[in-house]
Amino acid sequence: MSDSSNLVNVGRITALFGIKGWVKVHSYTEPQENLFEYHPWWLKTAHGVKKVEIDEARPHGDAFVAHIVGIDDRDIAALYTAVDIAVERDLLPELDDGEYYWSQLEGLIVFTQFSGTRQRLGVVDKMLETGANDVLVVLADAASIDQRERLIPYVPEQFVLSVDLDAGEILVDWDPEF
């Protein structure tokens, strides 16, 4: 059993596909087919984290379909739909300086230094992919300047001034009124 704190979400099983236990898969990796380079997958089900292997996969529309080893029945495959796919962090390639995995940014405290005053905006809840650029979804917490949710474009040097993983902080240049 893998330590779940060492797991990084890399995709999601979204639906059933056919009657022979295949599932539809949405990949969060870049490029998307890299999802299938990682073994094993850890599925975050309602009944805990389950280790699985994939023996076949292929592109299907804007996502993929895959077969989980040993699952040949639609009803059993249904137990694995709407679950996150995670892999062990050690399997992911090292990034260049200044590059971060989304999972590293989630949970960081966001401060703005707009107009020269450092103010706490909240905590990164998740990241959104918009096409133009990724977006930080920042939720207010007890120490925030207000209780607003903010969507801040993840544009280094323009809006995102620094990321300090050790301190658990992201410094942005963002008007708190937005």
User: Are 37 and 82 within one domain?
Assistant: yes
Q: Give the side-chain half-sphere CA count within 13 A for 4.
A: 8
What's the structural domain count of the chain?
A: 2
Q: Find where tokens 């892999």 sit.
A: 87
104 SS3 class: helix
Among residues 30, 61, 91, the one where a domain terminates is 91
Mean pLDDT of 63-78: 94
User: Are 118 and 50 within one domain?
Assistant: no
* Verdict on whether the full-model pTM lies above 0.75: no
Among residues 70, 91, 112, the one where a domain terminates is 91
Written as one letter, the residue type at 176 is P
Residue 60 has pLDDT above 90, yes or no: yes
Cβ neighbours of 16 (radius 10 Å): 17
Contact, 14 vs 61, CB < 8 A?
no
User: Are 109 and 82 within one domain?
Assistant: no
**109-112 vs 119-129, strand pairing mode:** antiparallel
Per-residue DSSP letter, 91: G
Q: How far, in Å, CA of 125 to CA of 175, rounded?
A: 19
User: Are 23 and 84 within one domain?
Assistant: yes
43, 90, 101, 162, 164 from 97: Cα distances, Å: 30, 17, 12, 12, 12
Q: How far, in Å, CA of 36 to CA of 65, rounded?
A: 11
Structure tokens at 161: 């001034």
Mean pLDDT computed over every residue of the chain: 88
- For residue 161, the model assigns a pLDDT of 92
Residue 167 has pLDDT above 60, yes or no: yes
Q: Find where tokens 């389950």 sit.
A: 50
90 SS3 class: helix
Domain range for 113? 102-172
- For residue 5, the model assigns a pLDDT of 66
Structural domain includes residue 97? no
